[in-house]
Structure 1
Amino acid sequence: MQIKENIRCIIVDDQMFAIKILEGHLVHFPTFSIDYAGTDIYEALRIIDSSKIDLVFLDIQMPDMNGMQFLKLCKNKCKFIFTTAYSQYAIEGYEHDVVDFLLKPITYERFKKSILKFNQHTNIANTAERDETKNEHILIKGDAKQKYHKVLLKNIVYVKGLDNYISIQTIAGPIITYMNLKDLIALLPSTRFCRIHKSFIVSVDYINYVDKSAVKVLNEIIPIGLSYKKNFFQLWETKLNRAMICPKQL
């Protein structure tokens, strides 16, 4: 396989929040750089025409032009990974040799598989993940005075859904933002965070006690929803096996 130290990417979507999710996922791969991330599909076309872009993350449903039209205009100048909330475009996309097709909300684990597919398509090596023990963070939309909060993953204790808002409980205190749990869980690594209830996401690193129906996270007792039990206990068992310890009981 050839080794390429800098894989140049473009992210195009009509929603800035969707762009932020992909940017957050891509920072885990140090050999990938982002030349453009935005909503202007014509600016993206201009950059592709004037630069050597390797990979485009493209939303299929754009206001001025759909993904298939965009792809045809690029004339095989780069590889594409389609992102969308609609699965009906998948077959047509693969007919055009699209690397992958990501359904929103895009989790980190699913995103990582797309990067591996890109490696195989292009015969490129040296696209290893960044060490997850380094300074990881997510960007959360703030209020008018502070556009975004930079939140370190290691500081997140749990998250509670509040109708159209969520409260992110960190070790420094809560952050309230207009967002939903479904979108947030897509930003978080599945090895460290788990949705255990329709209203709660928890960091497994902060769990003190576990029983069949609830967990204790610091001083909070949080219920485990029936439909979330299987996934949570699989993750909890994996954590225990790695740590070589036994769970305590509430």
Structure 2
Amino acid sequence: MLRCIAVDDEAFATRLLASYIQKLPGLALAGTTTNPLEALQWVQEGRADLVFLDIQMPELTGLQFLKICGHRCKVILTTAYPEYALEGYEHDVVDYLLKPIAFDRFVRAVQKAQALLPAAAPPALPPPAAPGAPAAPTPDYLFVKGDSKNKYLKLNYADILYIQGLKNYVSIHTAGQRIITYLTLRELAAQLPQPPFVRVHKSFIISLDHLRLVDGHTLHVGQEEILVGDTYREDFFRLIREKG
């Protein structure tokens, strides 16, 4: 079992990596942070076997992080800037993932790390909850990046009608506004509770809470009409029948 941490100054990026890590057997999520100094402390304390590390971060860049931590753990770099690839490999990184990170590419990078770390330490387990302690509440919102580096918008799941994919961007529609953010539809889908959110087309995710009418293969969501794609029809109509 490889103990993994995700380090990125943008919270949505750590959430995506965390969701990927939790999907794979053989990986244990040891922590996520937007603070590279905190991550460096975790590595120095021996809490991680594998680090997913962003390059462009304030206070401490990913490359500076690599120089300080040495060979205490294996590192997979994550960044939107391909020009850093060569310098990253000079520090003996396992792999270099370009954002937006597709899940299949993530899996290939992990497989490289597993080949290098066949005898990784077991994951550190969180302390057991006290008897009768209430379960941690499930978040009913997410934050998406705004139009500047440190600007984030809070969106309640209940307010989201549907989401449209636009190459490397998504357009999130609520009753009162439309938000454009740099994220792929696949990345956003990994963060959303399913259901009520359902992928119905290569370019659309809808909220079942706001689905007013199913008319053949046409879905009426708010004031929008969205066609169910061929690839998604069988699963969508099975879900509708189960809830009927």
Query: Is the TM value for this pair above 0.5?
Result: yes
> For 1:60-209, what aligned pairs fall within 5 Å after superposition?
60-123=55-118, 140-141=142-143, 159-160=163-164, 166-167=172-173, 178=179, 180=181, 182-188=183-189, 193=199, 196=202, 200-202=203-205
Q: Identify the residue that residue 129 of structure 2 maps to in structure 1.
A: none
**Structure 1 runs of 4+ with >4 Å offset:** 147-151, 161-165, 174-179, 192-195, 217-221
Q: Identify the residue that residue 32 of structure 1 maps to in structure 2.
A: 27
Q: Identify the residue that residue 19 of structure 1 maps to in structure 2.
A: 14
Cα 1:11–1:221 shift into 2, 3 Å: same
Return the letter of the residue paired with 1:201: F
Cα deviation 1:35-94 (Å, max 9, x = unaligned): 331121111111111224101111011112221221111110000010111011112222
Cα 1:33–1:16 shift into 2, 3 Å: same
Q: Please say if residues 85 and 105 of structure 1, whose CA atoms lie closer than 8 Å, have aligned partners that are also in contact.
A: yes
- How far off its partner does 1:183 sit? 3.3
| Aligned-residue CA RMSD (Å) | 4.3
Instruction: State percent identity of aligned pairs.
Output: 35
Q: Counterpart of 1:45 in 2: which secondary structure?
A: helix
Cα deviation 1:204-235 (Å, max 9, x = unaligned): xx9x899xxxx6347875369xxxxxxx77x5
Return the letter of the residue paired with 2:19: G
Return the letter of the residue paired with 1:216: T
Q: Identify the residue that residue 57 of structure 1 maps to in structure 2.
A: 52
What TM-score comes out, normalization by structure 2 length?
A: 0.60
What TM-score comes out, normalization by structure 1 length?
A: 0.59
Which blocks of at least 5 consecutive residues in structure 2 are unaligned?
A: 121-138, 145-153, 191-197, 235-244
Which blocks of at least 5 consecutive residues in structure 1 are unaligned?
A: 126-136, 169-173, 225-231, 241-250
Q: Identify the residue that residue 128 of structure 1 maps to in structure 2.
A: none
